[in-house]
Structure 1
Amino acid sequence: MGAQAAENAPPIGLIAAGGVLPFAVADEIVARGRTPVLFALKGICDPKPLSRFRHHWIGLGQLGNALKLLKAEGCHDLMFIGNLVRPAVSEIRIDWGTLKELPYLWSAFRGGDDHLLVGVGRIFERHGFHMIGVKDVAPNLLVPMGQLTRSRPNDLVSGDIVKGLAVLRAMAPFDVGQAVVVIDGHVVALEDIEGTDGLLARVARLRTDRRIRAAAGRGVLVKAPKAGQDLRYDLPTIGPRTVEGLAAAGLAGVAVAAGLTLLADPQETVSAADRAGVFITGVTA
């Protein structure tokens, strides 16, 4: 898209949850000559960086209000971005607009996280919005193929990466986690509702309890989207906290699906990995 066309294009709406990613994506959109408008989830989105962008606060479950604001801002393209713990239906304070969509919303909740996000996305699509993903507006935030750090996986760890990818492919039909830890050919932990940070903390506890006997600096965290996943939603993400977790868990590094994994705060993440002596590598999933 040319500069003039980008300037004349309608704004892009971001349903912004937690973490730094909503603002990183918004910055990329600005750099490409488009205007982001953030629809920040109350109690979840960080308010401090929000003032740099056009924004509105919306309550979780306030679908009617969100639709009204999106249309008033002239947003056609829309994306979900940021960290969000799956809410219970009882925690959602619905408005009239949500009440009208309740049968579709209830159906979306009856499944895993990917099923939920796709279901909510379809509700917005039924109202005329075009759901997009990070690759459409901020491809620079996706992990490239190859090595990002000074440290590299050795032959033993490379075998662990291959096994980890195979495990994730096998898990895909069940719409569960997007990460697994493999050490010396042994699958020691799978991601569940606690997320990647919780997974790495669990591996660290297993080391402390001597349930894992392998020496520190062995093994790998492998992350990839689920096979068949709608890649507009819930891509795997790594960032500085992932690096902290890798070091605490005594792992050699992390291998992620290249072009399909978000890198939060790229410069700090890679620098932190180099300081900790762990690797980050993008692989073919």
Structure 2
Amino acid sequence: MTVTAAAPGEGPLAMICGGGSLPLAVADAVAARGRRVVLFPLRGAAEGTPVERHSHHWIYVGQIGKFLRLARAEGCREVVFIGALVRPSIWQVHPDLVGLSFLPKVLRAFRGGDNHLLSGMGKLLEGEGLRLRGAHEVAPQILVPDGVLGRVQMTERDRADIALGLDYLHAAGPFDVGQAVIVAGRHILAVEAAEGTDGMLARMAEMRANGRVRAPRGAGVLVKAPKPHQDRRFDLPSVGPTTVEGAARAGLAGIAVIAGETVIAEPAAMTVAADKAGLFVVGVRGPAS
């Protein structure tokens, strides 16, 4: 994918960052277009991430006033949410004075699934004059393309498992539960819940080790897709080298995600890892939401 230069007048981009490698992958991609990035890594989530590569200010979840003050001082008019974050309880939020003034709206946002929470927080910031952008909008090169990424190809059995997985996720998506499922032999073996994709893969590996999975090793597909009607600016499904490692430990045949709607961290490293593990990774087209 061709990398285009930043549009004139875009100004610095604020990025509220959770953990994992995705925030820096997005920040580096945006910076490569010539646009300045200001990171706002979240305490309790982004520790260990080398945020020093870009301008940054550490904040706690709930420090809305501090974020707004610093983002405005940096000249940021657009903001991206990106990275892993375990959904905090309301008691783990550290509101500052401005955050306290928004507390009724924050409480309403917490009364629902993750998509409801993120959309609610996004509306709050938009009400303060910031424009919410999706990571894929500011760095389209981070999206999984159509087709197989490595050397390993799918079988007809794998295609049938992928089709069932996509049908399930499309049907279950409105309940705002998870974005991933494991299917083998047209049987659903695991569904992503609060533990996330990595936790689900670990659970699958444990079930296989305990003899609770009849499908042989090398059978089964991890299928990921965004929820129907999900606000694509938040929490797009993501994969990376750790996803391949988890799928390999779980004894799966491969990974299928929605092309153009899934973020990929470290694509070269992921492709190498998949080829080495004998897994396929494929971007497919899903049902319209």
TM bucket normalised to smaller? over 0.9
Q: Normalized per residue, which structure has more helix?
A: 1
Give the aligned partner of residue 209 of structure 1: 210
Tell me the secondary structure at the aligned position of residue 28 of structure 1: helix
- Show CA shifts across 1:181-211 (max 9, x none): 0000101110000000111111111111111
SS in 2 for 1:90: helix
Structural mapping, 1:76-225, within 5 Å? 76-225=77-226
Cα RMSD after superposing both structures: 1.4
Secondary structure of the residue aligned to 2:16 is strand
| SS of residue paired to 1:18 | coil
Q: Show the counterpart of 1:31.
A: 32
Correspondence for 2:57: 56
Q: In the alignment, which residue of structure 2 is the partner of 1:13?
A: 14
Cα distance in structure 1, aligned partners of 2:56 and 2:87? 23
- Give me the whole-angstrom Cα distance separating, in 1, the residues matched to 2:253 and 2:195: 22
Query: Counterparts of 2:7 and 2:156 in 1: how far apart (Å)?
Result: 49
What is the rounded CA distance, in whole Å, between the counterparts of 1:4 and 1:122 in structure 2?
26
What is the alpha-carbon distance in structure 1 between the residues aligned to residue 168 and residue 103 of structure 2? Answer: 36
SS at match of 2:94: coil
Identity %: 50
Range 159-168 or range 61-70, more displaced: 61-70
Question: Deviation of residue 233 (structure 1)?
Answer: 0.2
Decide whether the 8 Å contact of 1:183 with 1:214 is kept in 2.
Answer: yes
Report if aligned partners of 2:219, 2:252 keep a CA contact under 8 Å in 1: yes
C-alpha displacement of 1:68: 0.7
Q: Any idea what SS the aligned residue of 2:223 has?
A: strand
Q: Which range is displaced more, 47-56 or 183-192?
A: 47-56
Aligned to 2:43: 42
Aligned equivalents of 1:264, 1:251: Cα separation in 2:
20
Is there any run of 5+ residues in structure 2 with no aligned partner, and where? none
Cα separation, partners in 2 of 1:48 and 1:83, compared to 1, 3 Å: closer
Confirm or deny: 8 A CA contact 2:4 2:33 kept in the other structure: no
Residues 32-76 of structure 1: per-residue CA shift (max 9 Å, x gap) = 111111111123214552111111111111111111111111101
Q: Is the CA contact (8 Å cut-off) linking 1:39 and 1:56 kept in structure 2? A: yes
**Cα distance change, pair 5–182 in 1 and its aligned pair in 2 (3 A):** closer
The farther-off stretch of 135-144 and 159-168 is 135-144
TM-score by length of 2: 0.95
Structure 1 residues not aligned, in runs of 5+:
none
